[in-house]
């Protein structure tokens, strides 16, 4: 499957709200979000300023996912990858992470690494990181807030520029 990455723009508020509200995000703090959540993040620069967000699309125009790389001025930019419920389990996360990694290292020559965090029990995302050459670098005990539950461990994966270029 071939993916394309279209910039998510501030004018995409309605599409962002629809996309994010129609899926459940079981490994994020807020499992469900709404239009107010999206508007607040747009106003705060969550999808712009020191971040870039991309619609992940296949052959059709309908978004399969949303990728966001943030802290672009930092030594280690970080990513947030959300694949729509209906698109999970089809390898889209792996293709999307590879594409986002290539984008970062081609557009930001000063970036030497890319990192990402997930919950310790998010086995699918952990597998995606590993398939894309990311290395497990840390496990932070009880560092991931869980809505209505006890905190879980957070795990950090990262890839260095030279590792990504060697793949």
Question: Which residues, 6 or more positions from 51, have their beta carbon under 8 angstroms from its beta carbon?
Answer: 45, 68, 69, 70, 71, 72
20-57 burial, b for 16+ CB within 10 Å, e for fewer? beebeeebbeeeebeeebbeebbeeebbbeebbbbbbb
This prediction has a pTM of: 0.92
* pLDDT tens-place string over residues 38-60: 888 877 777 777 899 999 999 88
Q: Where are the chain's structural domains?
A: 4-166
Asked if 120 contacts 152 with a C-beta cutoff of 8 angstroms, the reply is yes
Alpha-carbon Rg for the chain, nearest whole angstrom, is: 15
At 33 the pLDDT is 86
4-166, CATH topology level: Aminopeptidase (3.40.630)
- 86-102 pLDDT per residue, tens: 999 999 999 999 999 99
């Amino acid at each position: 499957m071939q993916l394309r990455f279209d910039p998510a723009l501030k004018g995409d508020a309605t599409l962002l709200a629809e996309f994010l509200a129609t899926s459940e995000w079981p490994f994020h703090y807020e499992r469900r979000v709404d239009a107010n959540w999206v508007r607040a993040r747009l106003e705060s620069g969550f999808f712009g300023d020191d971040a870039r967000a991309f619609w992940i699309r296949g052959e059709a125009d309908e978004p399969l996912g949303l990728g966001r790389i943030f802290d672009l001025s930092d030594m280690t930019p970080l990513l947030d990858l959300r694949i729509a419920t209906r698109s999970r389990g089809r390898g889209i996360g792996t293709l999307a992470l590879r594409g986002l990694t290539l984008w970062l290292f081609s557009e930001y020559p000063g970036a030497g690494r890319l990192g990402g965090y997930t919950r310790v029990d998010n086995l699918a995302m952990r597998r995606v990181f590993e398939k894309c050459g990311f290395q497990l670098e840390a496990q932070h005990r009880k560092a991931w807030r869980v809505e209505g539950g006890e905190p879980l461990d957070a795990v950090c994966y990262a890839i260095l520029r030279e590792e990504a270029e060697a793949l």
